[in-house]
Amino acid sequence: MSRNQKMDIIRSVESAGLNISDALMKFDLHRSTYYRWKRKLCSQGIKDLKDNKPYRKRTWNQLLHWQVDKILEYATFNPEYSSREISLYITDNEGFSVCESTVYRRLKERGLIPEAIGKVRPDDVYFGRREQMLKKQKQFLKGKELTVESLKQELKLPPKLKVNLSHFC
């Protein structure tokens, strides 16, 4: 309802010869709503009668900006640490608690976790599919010079990230 409509209702209720309850029933308006509008009109004027848009408050378990910055800072300076190790360090030393999956999601959002070329699951080893995955990796790398820089470009890794090549060779 616009502020002009609210103002018209307040004027109509006051100018009606009926008591306030009967006038409010005529407009199908709750008594507390009428008095709230009237109080706003008296305190701030007609501009305070506008509808307030709802705003979203922060949820109780949402990380603050400085906490996300701490996670990213620690992960950037220690790229060899897993998300579990980062969450343990932060929980022990930084004064707030963060779970491993949250650290992983934040790092993945910022591109600090590389995409896997091929995942090897435990049942792949059991059913003999490990060789198939290794074959796919070799086909992927076939004809490409195997250097740290070429892998960073292929995997779209940040330039300062350290890469362990032992599992590719």
Does the pTM of the predicted model rise above 0.85? no
Q: What local confidence, expressed as pLDDT, does residue 112 receive?
A: 83
The closest of 133, 57, 109, 82 to 90, measured between CA atoms, is: 82
Q: What local confidence, expressed as pLDDT, does residue 169 receive?
A: 46
Q: With beta carbons less than 8 A apart as the criterion, state whether 24 and 31 touch.
A: yes
Q: Judging by beta carbons within 10 Å of its beta carbon (0-12, 13-18, 19+), is residue 161 exposed, middle or buried?
A: middle
User: Any alpha helices (H) in the chain, and if so which ranges?
Assistant: 3-15, 20-27, 31-44, 65-77, 83-93, 100-109, 122-126, 130-141, 148-155
Between CA 45 and CA 10 the distance in angstroms is: 13
Q: What local confidence, expressed as pLDDT, does residue 4 receive?
A: 83
Q: What local confidence, expressed as pLDDT, does residue 93 receive?
A: 93
Handedness of CA 128, 131, 134, 136 (dihedral sign): negative
Q: With beta carbons less than 8 A apart as the criterion, state whether 115 and 123 touch.
A: no
Between CA 11 and CA 37 the distance in angstroms is: 11
Q: Judging by beta carbons within 10 Å of its beta carbon (0-12, 13-18, 19+), is residue 22 exposed, middle or buried?
A: exposed
Which pLDDT tens digits describe the chain residue by residue (169 residues)? 788 888 888 888 888 777 888 888 888 889 998 888 888 888 878 777 777 777 777 788 889 999 999 999 998 888 888 899 999 999 999 999 999 999 999 998 888 886 665 565 665 555 555 566 566 666 666 665 556 566 556 555 566 555 555 554 4
